[in-house]
Amino acid sequence: MAHFLGIEVIQRKDGIFISQSGYTKEILKRYGMENYNPKNTPVDSGVEQKKGIKVGDVDPTYFKSLVGSLRYLTCTRPYILYGVGLISRYMETPDQSHLYASKRILRYIKGTVDDGLFYKPTDNFSLVAYSDSDWGCDLDETKSTTGFAFFSGNIVFTWSSKKQAIVTLSTCEAEYVAANSTVCHAIWLRNVLKHLGFPQENPIEIYVDNRSAIALAKNLVYHERKIEDKVQKTLNLIKEEDEDEKDGNKDYSFCFSSSVLDSASVLQIERGKQESSKNSTQVENKNSELANKVAD
C-alpha cells in the first residue's frame, strides 16, 4: 500500500514512513501560498487571538475550507495541532487576524512539505503519556488548553489538543484537568490494546510538568487546596482510579511523574521547543538519507 486517503506510506525493512507531502502541495496551491516564504513556527507567540477584532471581512465558507484542510494535515503533523486548534475556534465569525494566523500555518508547512512520521519496529508496547496545559490563554472565555501525546515504546501514535470545558483558577488546576483528560484516554487505549491482544501489564506512566498537580493526583483524601467545587467534581476520576490500584485492581493503574519531555508535543510554539517537539515524535523528512533507504 502506497497511498491511503491522501496519506503516503513508504514501507521498508527498517520501518514505515508516513507523510502527506502530496496533499500539502495541493493545499498550498489551492490557497495560493506556494510562492510565499516559509516560517519557522506555525504560531506567532507574540499575537493573541480573540473574537470581535474586525480587521476586515473574511468569507466563512473559505475560512472553514482552509481550516478543514489544515485539520486533516494533523494526521501526520502533531506539531501543528495546537495552532490549528486555535484558529478552529473562530470558524463562524472569522476576521483578518484569524486568516493571517491560518496562512502562517500554511507558510510553516511550506518549509516542511516532506516531513512525516517514521515508525520503527518494536516489541515494547507499554503505554507512556505526556500531558500539558497552558493556563487561561483563551482571551474570550479565559479557559485553558489541554494537550497530550501517547507513546507505545518510543513511537507516538495518538495526540490531542483541545480547549478545556471549565475555567480553572490556577496552573495547578489547569494541569490537573489535562491529566484527567489523559487518564480518560489512557483507560480507553488500555481496553483497546487488551482487545487486540496487547494487554498492559504495568501501570501506565503519565508525565505531567507541574509538581502541584502531581501531588494533588496522588493524594487520596480530600485536599485542602481551594479547588472550585465544579473542578473537584470533574476531577474525581484520577483519585478513583488510584483507589482501584490500592485495592489491587491493576487494569486501571497509573504512575504520575514529572515530565522529561518538554511538554506535550502539541503545545510548542517557540522555535527551539518546536524542534524538540518534532524530534521527540519521530518526525522525519522523506528526502533524508534515512527515509530514502531502499529495502533489499
Q: Does residue 216 lie in a domain region?
A: yes
Q: Does residue 270 lie in a domain region?
A: no
- By CB atoms closer than 10 A (0-12, 13-18, 19+), residue 114 is middle
Residues 152, 86: one domain?
no
Q: What is the pLDDT of residue 285?
A: 65
Quick count: other Cβ atoms within 10 Å of Cβ 103?
A: 17
Q: What is the pLDDT of residue 292?
A: 43
Residues 99, 129: one domain?
no
Q: What is the pLDDT of residue 102?
A: 92
**Which domain range does residue 55 map to?**
3-118
Domain boundary among 118, 138, 155: 118
Residues 144, 197: one domain?
yes
Residues 97, 177: one domain?
no
8 Å CB contact between 109 and 116: no
Rounded distance between C-alpha atoms, residue 185 and residue 131, angstroms: 11
Q: What is the pLDDT of residue 71?
A: 93
Q: Which backbone phi and psi does 171 adopt, to 5 degrees?
A: -65, -35
The count of structural domains within the chain is 2
Residues 56, 147: one domain?
no
pLDDT averages per 10-residue partition of the chain, 296 residues: 82 88 92 90 82 72 92 91 90 87 92 88 85 86 91 84 89 88 90 88 85 76 50 50 49 54 38 46 56 38
Q: What is the DSSP letter of 169?
A: S
Residues 251, 175: one domain?
yes
Residues 241, 149: one domain?
yes
Cell 520501518 maps to which residue? 15
Q: Does residue 133 lie in a domain region?
A: yes
Residues 156, 33: one domain?
no
Domain boundary among 118, 152, 180: 118
Q: What is the pLDDT of residue 63?
A: 92
Q: Does residue 283 lie in a domain region?
A: no
Residues 131, 95: one domain?
no
Q: What is the pLDDT of residue 273?
A: 41
Residues 133, 231: one domain?
yes
**What is the pTM for the complete model shown?**
0.77
Q: What is the pLDDT of residue 176?
A: 87
Q: Does residue 267 lie in a domain region?
A: no
Strand ranges inside 14-134, DSSP E: 15-19, 115-119, 127-133
Q: What is the pLDDT of residue 47?
A: 75
Rounded distance between C-alpha atoms, residue 142 and residue 164, angstroms: 10
Q: What is the pLDDT of residue 121?
A: 84
Q: Does residue 296 lie in a domain region?
A: no
Helix orientation angle between 211-218 and 236-246, rounded to the nearest 10 degrees: 50
Rounded distance between C-alpha atoms, residue 238 and residue 152, angstroms: 21
* pLDDT tens profile 87-120: 998 888 888 888 999 999 999 999 988 888 888 8
Residues 250, 129: one domain?
yes
Beta-carbon contacts of 48 under 8 Å, excluding residues fewer than 6 positions away, are 139
Q: Does residue 286 lie in a domain region?
A: no
Helix orientation angle between 171-195 and 236-246, rounded to the nearest 10 degrees: 50
Residues 151, 228: one domain?
yes
Q: Does residue 240 lie in a domain region?
A: yes
